[in-house]
Amino acid sequence: MILRARAKNGSIQEKSATWEASKTALIICDMWDDHWCKSASRRVGELAGPLNETVKAARARGVFIIHAPSSVTSFYQDTPQRKLAQAAPFAATPVPLAAAQRWGTAWCWTDPKRETVLPIDDSDMGCSCTGAKCEIREAWTRQIATIDLSPGDALTDDGQETWNLLQARGIENVMLCGVHLNMCVLGRPFAIRQMVALGMNVALLRDLTDTMYNPERPPGVDHFTGTDLVVGHVEKYWCPSITSTVFTGQPAFRFKEDTRKP
Ligand SMILES: [Zn+2]
């Protein structure tokens, strides 16, 4: 597969790599059943089908699948996937796990030693709806049902449980997909910043993600260009990216509302 990274001046650097499936995990971040922002919820609904197809293809190749629907794992308390995560033997981490808390889990904040501020302003929480803005509320109860839980998959939103699962399987490579890239896909305790800090080889599935970005906020670009800017930030400061084509052989996913020329 081709890993896409960026130099500090923003130029794209592509490098070929082979990751052994048995040493690779795919983590699905916060693909919830509903969201307080109607636009965000609609996009997750559209993304879920292609994401599930990618997960199926990755699983068939032997990649370990971790479902990570943050703050709603209790919905799954009686499932084999949740029990698998809880049963993984404790493994010490090479560095302490993030201790800050945000939105129901531990959290890795923006790291000023490693990255600049994000290239989009999400300080209004990023409702991208036109006209009336959505009211923030606890909207989610579970992972969206479109994504299948299969035997052998795990389900957790906990950093230690994630590490235990990875160590028990000798996993060295972690791929991330799901939402939202400017928030949870970077900050959650199973997500990009934490996995990089733990020394994993990390890659973002850049077509299977989205952001919370309101185009009325700086830098004033359309929603999907805003997402691309955050992908560029990740490629520059955190980890390379790939597309779902690696697993599906199909063209990379695009949202219907993304009317830009490919
Ligand atoms: Zn909205």
Q: How far is the CA of 196 from the centre of ligand 1 (A)?
A: 31
Q: Rounded to an integer, what distance in angstroms lies between the CA atom of residue 81 and that of residue 96?
A: 26
**Eight-class DSSP state of 74:** G
Flag whether pLDDT at 90 surpasses 90: yes
Could you give the percent of the chain with pLDDT greater than 70? 100
What band does 202 get if pLDDT is binned at 50, 70 and 90? very high
Q: What is the pLDDT of residue 199?
A: 98
Parallel, antiparallel, or unpaired for β 201-209 and 2-6?
A: unpaired
Flag whether pLDDT at 261 surpasses 90: no
Q: How far is the CA of 109 from the centre of ligand 1 (A)?
A: 24
Residues whose CB is under 5 A from ligand 1 (ion)?
37-39, 127, 129, 134
**Eight-class DSSP state of 39:** H
The β-bridge partners of 106 are: 101
Q: How far is the CA of 106 from the centre of ligand 1 (A)?
A: 26
Q: How far is the CA of 128 from the centre of ligand 1 (A)?
A: 5
Residue type, 236: K
Q: How far is the CA of 226 from the centre of ligand 1 (A)?
A: 16
Find the mean pLDDT for residues 94-116: 97
Flag whether pLDDT at 20 surpasses 90: yes
Distances (CA, A) of 1 to 167, 174, 240: 24, 14, 11
Q: What is the pLDDT of residue 48?
A: 98
Q: How far is the CA of 215 from the centre of ligand 1 (A)?
A: 12
Q: Rounded to an integer, what distance in angstroms lies between the CA atom of residue 252 and that of residue 243?
A: 6
CA angle 92, 241, 252 (to 5 degrees): 130
